[in-house]
Structure 1
Amino acid sequence: MGSAFSCPVSPGLYEQFLLFGDSITEFSEKQDVGFGFAPALRYAYIRRLEVVNRGLSGYNTAMALKVIDRVIPKPCEARVRLMTIFFGANDSCFPTERSNQCVPLPDFKANLIKIVRHPAVTAHASRIVLITPPPIDERTQQAVDLTKGFALRRSAENTRRYAEAVCEVGKELGLPVLDLWSIFMLQAGWKPEAEKPLPGSLDEAPNEELARLLIDGLHLTPAGYQLMYDQFNVVLAQAYPTEVPTRLPYILPRWDDEGAWSNFPS
């Protein structure tokens, strides 16, 4: 009997760099307003890895677990060499009668661990980077929620707890974490030792830096994606130095590589 991951096809030419997350991952593909995280990665890894965007708008970790077998290819279809796991923005919503996005904090942490340890993921022995949800701007998010008939569904402080949970999971599992929450908050002038309300809270004055990084108080602007990309490369170089693009060879030879062409099968 074959394994649960057996299949009749052969792996593709390129190994994959798979981005698994919610709308912040999905929307990172957009280039109509400026810089996009996914296209930037795709160009950086061109001819080396296939960058695959599996961002799913509105998804939380519970939904991610329901579809993970369909998101992650079988090893015989493609090998996932690198992977980002980027959830929490929806899990951290407050529950409402018309929204099932909320995942309680203990369940969120447990779900993240289940995703990392899921057979569909472990079959690839991927190099994984966890990403925390970014902070939110309550004032801007409140205006967005009101147009949808909701009260404010997220808070700066609750989002902080979910970001901290991602960092805790990373420490527990020995995985690198891109702490986007702290990176953005430090840009916004946050001091870890400060006791006053967080930047982005309704009790604080509007924060120009968060407005520059967050397009609607939650999703990222091109400047936000640029900062995310720059800091991701720092984390990657520290955690997996052999996986930075310049350390990976081209899969097919350069046009002027005479030695490679002389040995290339006809």
Structure 2
Amino acid sequence: RPAFVLLGASMVEYSFRPGGWGAVLADLYSRKADILLRGYRGWNTRRTRAALPHFLPKPALVVIFLGTNDAAFPLPSGKGQFVPIPEYKENLRYMCEYCQSLSDSTRVLLITPPPINDEARRALSWSRFGPLALNWLDRTDERAQAYAQACLSVAEEMKVGVVDLHNAIKRVENWETECLSDGMHISPKGCEILVELLLEALKKVSLHWEDVPNDL
């Protein structure tokens, strides 16, 4: 029975909530493949890369959905989630190579980080910190777009599949509120878009749920 690994941060961790994109995939593939959740809130590519050998089987598919935390603004302390774009790209390359080495048939699929609603993130900062927040943003759409482009570049370089969630969401009218729940995480509408894009990508590698035989 094939295993599909969903690898990422909170976008993946939350995906098994009702209506989440991971939950939808688990339902579609319920008699065909195991959908394994490997999502850890707050993680970036640096931390995921270090942990990679500890939690991957030999899957048919690895979906890597990382970049939103890497794109966070760096903190003055030097700590935090920020990972520079050159390191982000190198981490993605490493993960692609590692996953492909697990078996000859393992497929890798990258997902670009979604856009950011700057105003929603600014409002969230104000609600948490009040006047102390000033005009501070933890993330911006401009930065998210740069990391999405970096993800697309790595996918092309490594010759792996990619789902361009970032630009797909931006094609939706009022995407800032329709597709994002808090200015960052994808909403049920965002999950619908992601599932549709994932199934299109999986069809290209004969892993669409209609193409995978039942196990019993």
Is TM (by shorter chain) over 0.5?
A: yes
How far 1:169 sits from its partner (Å)? 0.3
For structure 2, the 5+ residue unaligned runs are: none
Matches within 5 A, 1:156-195: 156-188=141-173
Secondary structure of 1:130's match? strand
CA contact (8 A) 1:82 1:128 kept: yes
How far 1:121 sits from its partner (Å)? 5.1
The one-character-per-residue Cα deviations of 1:66-90 (angstroms, maximum 9, x if unpaired) are 11112212xxxxx300110010000
- In 2, Cα distance between the equivalents of 1:100 and 1:122? 31
The corresponding residue for 1:92 is 71
The corresponding residue for 2:83 is 103
The one-character-per-residue Cα deviations of 1:1-45 (angstroms, maximum 9, x if unpaired) are xxxxxxxxxxxxx321100011011111111xxx21111101111
Which of 173, 179, 198 matches 1:213?
179
Amino acid at match of 1:221: S
Identity %, equivalent residues = 29
**Is 1:23–2:10 an aligned residue pair?**
yes
- In 1, Cα distance between the equivalents of 2:59 and 2:41? 22
Q: Note the aligned Cα RMSD (angstroms).
A: 1.5
Which has the larger Rg?
A: 1
The one-character-per-residue Cα deviations of 1:156-175 (angstroms, maximum 9, x if unpaired) are 11110000000000100111
- Richer in helix (by share): 2
Secondary structure of 1:136's match? coil
- In 2, Cα distance between the equivalents of 1:148 and 1:22? 22
**Is 1:64–2:51 an aligned residue pair?**
no
- In 1, Cα distance between the equivalents of 2:84 and 2:200? 31
- In 1, Cα distance between the equivalents of 2:103 and 2:7? 14
- In 2, Cα distance between the equivalents of 1:50 and 1:184? 27
Secondary structure of 2:210's match? helix
For structure 1, the 5+ residue unaligned runs are: 1-13, 74-78, 189-207, 253-266
CA contact (8 A) 2:165 2:194 kept: yes
CA contact (8 A) 1:146 1:152 kept: no
Secondary structure of 1:247's match? coil
Amino acid at match of 2:119: R
Secondary structure of 1:168's match? helix
How far 1:145 sits from its partner (Å)? 2.9
**Is 1:245–2:209 an aligned residue pair?**
yes
The corresponding residue for 1:122 is 101
